[in-house]
């Protein structure tokens, strides 16, 4: 790829990016969230077209107009969001593009088994994909992409949902692929992982290449981290001290939220929360680590009241709110930053001002009017540093960061707020917005509001939380004060290794 630029209406995602992948190598692409990795990959995959620059494949310039074209050129991709059909079996998913007209179930399974053993996978070909656990789904996705033997394989954050064993399996599988003459682009923001599998590394930051094609043997890790993160350094020791003081204060505060032995079922009637208990004091930030899909979503919904509780109690300020509707819970002081901003957090086609007043308790009194909305909203968005000119724009036109600010401004504005549940509030945001969100969460705690922070990012949790626990397979494990947290244990728990 040479001199690639891509601009979106509001941001320049990539500017003048060039990098190359050789035959038979695993080339890692490192970068923070929002560095432009995914945009770059969508260009290669044919979902987007570059505004400038060109793509060369084996020294020929190519245009990639669609995923089909990409596939025809021998580019295969494992996306962060898996591209699988839930109601079909694993084997059907893998072999879908290359089926004979009449399908024999037996032949299908045989073919699948062959492929599976070649790449050292274990997934059952007859299982419906929707019922497989996430790591196995990822196996299916990998097999699907590897089946047509692509020249170039692109992996986008492949280990986000994998256990350590699975990750090792993945590394072996990639070696097998590269050994057969293929190439791999490996996208990640995890340094260690990259060092384990990649031959060379390219680092992206804010849409620019900051380090190109460095062989992994001759690598200075600290420098690389610095390049990747930019000016933002790691957690300062001063902050650490502050926090240990806080932990001292915290034990004297009253418990504001108590969850006892909570059991919740998923849409498909699987028990996804199995006895979750937690206690939260005013002004405390409780971090819940864990990969999506191990009950986080359902925990948020159960707390908010949009999903029925199977058994167990939820007390907010001493009141059992387990059977209350959402509106009443909010009146009692519950606030939520939902996981899916666009779907659950905002009404996308309503204006920013109106979205600031989405919660019934935040409405301007009595009769509504546009000007009343704007007046109300103006006071809210000032505290999150949004330009006033944005007030009348529909929310969906905002960037992810600004949208999140609107939601936070709204949730924090509720006068009764005592507990805030923030689910992955920084997912997909740029660094500036992440800093702003972190700052707001800290401010929250300072005002005595208790916060539950769900996140996949251990660093984020360790830097913000007072206490931390890992939600794996529907249960909380390894609860401890963040200052005593042991990264290795947490890492193992995150990887699904339950002691």
Partner 1 sequence: MSGLRLVPRLVITPRRQVLQSIVALGLALLVGAICLLLAGLSPLDVYLHIAEAGLFSIDGLADTAVCATPILLCALGLLLPFRMRLWNIGGEGQLLLGAWAATGVALFLPSWPRSLLLLTMSLAAMAAGGLWGLIPGVLRVRLRTSEVLVSLMLNYVALAWLRFFVFGRWSENGFPLTPQLVKSAWLPRLLDWAERFPILAGLPSHAGFLWALLLAICLGVWLRRSPVAFDLRVIGDSSRAAQTAGIPVGARMILAMTVSGAFCGLAGMIEVAGVVHRLQDRFSPGYGYSAIIVVWLARLSPSGVVLVSILFGALLVGSKDVKPSGVAQLLQGLILLTVMASEIGLRYRLVRTLPKDKI
Partner 2 sequence: MAMDTLSQLSHLLAAGVTRAAPLLIAALGAITAERAGVLNLGVEGVMLLGAMTGFATTAATANPWLGLGSALLAGAALGLLYAVVVVSLQADQVVSGLALGFVGTGLSAVLGAPLAAAPQKIVELPQLSIPFLQQIPLLGRALFATSVIVYVAFILLLITKLLDASRWGLHITAVGENPSAADAMGVPVLRYRYACTIWGSGLAGLAGGGLSLAITPMWVDDLTAGQGWIAVGLVVVARWRAIPAAWIALLFGVLRRLPLELQGMSALLGNPKLGYLFEMLPYLGTIVVLVIRTRPGVGKYFAPPSALGIPYVRGMQK
* From candidates 61, 269, 318, 365, binder to partner 2 by CB under 8 A: 269
What gap in Å lies between CA 340 and CA 266, rounded to an integer? 17
Say whether residue 311 binds partner 2 (CB under 8 A).
Answer: no
The interface partner of residue 183, options being partner 2, partner 1, none and the CB cut-off 5 to 8 Å by kind, is none
Write down the least CB distance from residue 366 to partner 2, Å: 34
CB-nearer residue toward partner 1: 49 or 83: 49
What gap in Å lies between CA 442 and CA 448, rounded to an integer? 10
Write down the least CB distance from residue 27 to partner 1, Å: 24
CB-nearer residue toward partner 2: 71 or 352: 71
Say whether residue 106 binds partner 2 (CB under 8 A).
Answer: no
CB-nearer residue toward partner 1: 1 or 492: 1
Stretch 218-257: interaction string toward partner 2, x if CB under 8 A? ----------------------------------------
Residues 48-67 that bind partner 1 (CB under 8 A): 49, 54, 61, 63, 65
Residues 6+ apart with CB under 8 A from 406: 346, 352, 355, 356, 381, 384, 386, 395, 398
* From candidates 88, 225, 358, 435, binder to partner 1 by CB under 8 A: 358
Write down the least CB distance from residue 88 to partner 2, Å: 6
Which segment (77-85, 113-121, 290-298, 471-479) binds partner 2 by CB under 8 A? Answer: 77-85
CB-nearer residue toward partner 2: 99 or 319: 99
The sign of the torsion formed by the CA atoms of 476, 490, 233, 3 equals negative
E strand or H helix at 62? strand 60-62
Say whether residue 394 binds partner 2 (CB under 8 A).
Answer: no
Say whether residue 96 binds partner 2 (CB under 8 A).
Answer: yes
Q: How far apart are the first and last CA of the chain?
A: 46
* From candidates 74, 394, 448, 491, binder to partner 1 by CB under 8 A: 394
Which segment (17-25, 93-101, 147-155, 364-372) binds partner 1 by CB under 8 A? Answer: 364-372
Say whether residue 367 binds partner 2 (CB under 8 A).
Answer: no
DSSP per residue, 375-430: HHHHHHHHTTT--GGGGGSBGGGS-HHHHHHHHHHHHHH-TT--EEEEESTTTT--
Residue 308 DSSP symbol: -
Residue burial 105-124, b: 16+ Cβ < 10 Å; e: rest: eeebbebbeebbeebebebe
Three-class secondary structure of residue 427 per DSSP: coil
CA-based nearest residue to 302, from 342, 343, 274: 274
E strand or H helix at 404? helix 400-413
* From candidates 17, 44, 92, 417, binder to partner 2 by CB under 8 A: 92
Say whether residue 101 binds partner 2 (CB under 8 A).
Answer: yes
* From candidates 120, 308, 360, 387, binder to partner 1 by CB under 8 A: 360
Which segment (32-40, 124-132, 183-191, 350-358) binds partner 1 by CB under 8 A? Answer: 350-358
* From candidates 17, 28, 55, 84, binder to partner 2 by CB under 8 A: 84
* From candidates 97, 148, 180, 325, binder to partner 1 by CB under 8 A: 325
Say whether residue 99 binds partner 2 (CB under 8 A).
Answer: yes
Identify whether the C-beta of residue 325 lies closer than 8 Å to the C-beta of residue 360.
Answer: no
Residue 41 DSSP symbol: H
What gap in Å lies between CA 383 and CA 387, rounded to an integer? 11
Size of the site for partner 1 (CB under 8 A): 38
CA-based nearest residue to 228, from 194, 262, 185: 194
Say whether residue 60 binds partner 2 (CB under 8 A).
Answer: no
What gap in Å lies between CA 153 and CA 79, rounded to an integer? 11
Say whether residue 344 binds partner 1 (CB under 8 A).
Answer: yes
Identify whether the C-beta of residue 137 lies closer than 8 Å to the C-beta of residue 82.
Answer: yes
Q: What's the full length of the chain, in residues?
A: 499
The interface partner of residue 106, options being partner 1, partner 2, none and the CB cut-off 5 to 8 Å by kind, is none
* Burial class of 9 by CB neighbour count within 10 A (0 to 12, 13 to 18, 19+): exposed
The sign of the torsion formed by the CA atoms of 456, 462, 466, 469 equals positive
Write down the least CB distance from residue 468 to partner 1, Å: 25
Identify whether the C-beta of residue 356 lies closer than 8 Å to the C-beta of residue 409.
Answer: yes
Could you give the C-alpha distances from 279 to 245, 320, 469, in angstroms and in order?
20, 14, 12
* Burial class of 217 by CB neighbour count within 10 A (0 to 12, 13 to 18, 19+): exposed
Say whether residue 102 binds partner 2 (CB under 8 A).
Answer: yes
Write down the least CB distance from residue 55 to partner 2, Å: 17
Write down the least CB distance from residue 156 to partner 1, Å: 23
E strand or H helix at 184? strand 183-188
Among all chains, which residue has been given the structure tokens 């005593």? 484
Residues of the shown chain interacting with partner 1 in the complex, contacts defined by CB under 8 A: 9, 49, 54, 61, 63, 65, 304, 306, 325-331, 336, 338, 343-350, 354, 357-361, 363, 367-369, 393-394, 397
Residues of the shown chain interacting with partner 2 in the complex, contacts defined by CB under 8 A: 42, 47-48, 66-68, 71, 77, 79, 81-88, 92-93, 96-97, 99-103, 144, 268-269
């Amino acid at each position: 790829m040479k001199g690639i630029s891509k601009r979106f209406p509001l941001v320049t995602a990539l500017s003048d990016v060039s990098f190359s992948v050789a035959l038979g190598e695993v080339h890692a692409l490192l970068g923070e969230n929002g560095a432009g990795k995914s945009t770059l990959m969508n260009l290669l995959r044919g979902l987007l077209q570059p505004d400038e620059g060109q793509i060369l494949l084996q020294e020929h310039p190519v245009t990639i107009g669609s995923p089909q074209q990409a596939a025809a050129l021998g580019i295969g991709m494992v996306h962060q969001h898996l591209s699988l059909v839930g109601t079909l079996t694993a084997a059907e998913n893998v072999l879908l593009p290359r089926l004979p007209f009449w399908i024999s179930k037996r032949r299908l399974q045989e073919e699948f088994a062959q492929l599976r053993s070649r790449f050292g996978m274990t997934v059952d070909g007859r299982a419906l994909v929707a019922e497989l656990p996430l790591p196995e789904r990822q196996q299916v996705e990998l097999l699907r992409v590897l089946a047509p033997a692509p020249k170039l394989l692109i992996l986008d954050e492949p280990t986000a949902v994998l256990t350590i064993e699975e990750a090792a399996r993945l590394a072996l599988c990639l070696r097998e692929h590269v050994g057969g003459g293929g190439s791999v682009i490996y996208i990640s923001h995890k340094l260690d992982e990259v060092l384990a599998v990649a031959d060379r590394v390219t680092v992206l930051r804010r849409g620019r290449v900051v380090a190109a094609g460095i062989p992994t043997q001759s690598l200075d890790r600290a420098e690389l981290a610095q390049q990747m993160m930019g000016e933002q350094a790691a957690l300062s020791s001063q902050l650490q001290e502050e926090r240990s003081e806080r932990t001292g204060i915290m034990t004297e505060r009253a418990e504001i939220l108590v969850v006892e032995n909570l059991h919740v079922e998923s849409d498909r009637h699987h028990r996804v929360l199995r006895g979750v208990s937690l206690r939260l004091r005013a002004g405390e930030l409780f971090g819940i680590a864990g990969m999506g899909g191990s009950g986080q979503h359902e925990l948020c919904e159960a707390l908010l009241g949009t999903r029925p509780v199977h058994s167990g109690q939820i007390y907010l300020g001493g009141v059992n709110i387990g059977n209350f509707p959402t509106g009443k819970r909010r009146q009692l002081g519950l606030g939520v930053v939902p996981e899916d901003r666009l779907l659950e957090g905002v009404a996308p086609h309503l204006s920013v001002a109106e979205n600031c007043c989405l919660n019934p308790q935040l409405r301007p009194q009595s009769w509504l009017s546009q000007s009343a909305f704007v007046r109300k909203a103006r006071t809210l968005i000032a505290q999150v540093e949004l330009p006033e000119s944005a007030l009348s724009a529909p929310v969906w036109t905002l960037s992810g960061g600004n949208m999140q600010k609107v939601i936070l401004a709204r949730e924090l504005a509720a006068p009764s707020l005592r507990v805030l549940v923030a689910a992955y509030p920084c997912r997909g945001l740029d660094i500036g917005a992440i800093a702003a969100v972190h700052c707001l969460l800290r401010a929250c705690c300072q005002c005595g509001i208790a916060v539950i922070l769900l996140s996949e990012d251990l660093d984020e949790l360790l830097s913000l939380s007072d206490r931390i626990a890992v939600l794996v397979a529907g249960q909380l494990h390894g609860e401890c004060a963040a200052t005593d947290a042991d990264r290795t244990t947490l890492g193992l728990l995150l990887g699904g290794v339950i002691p």
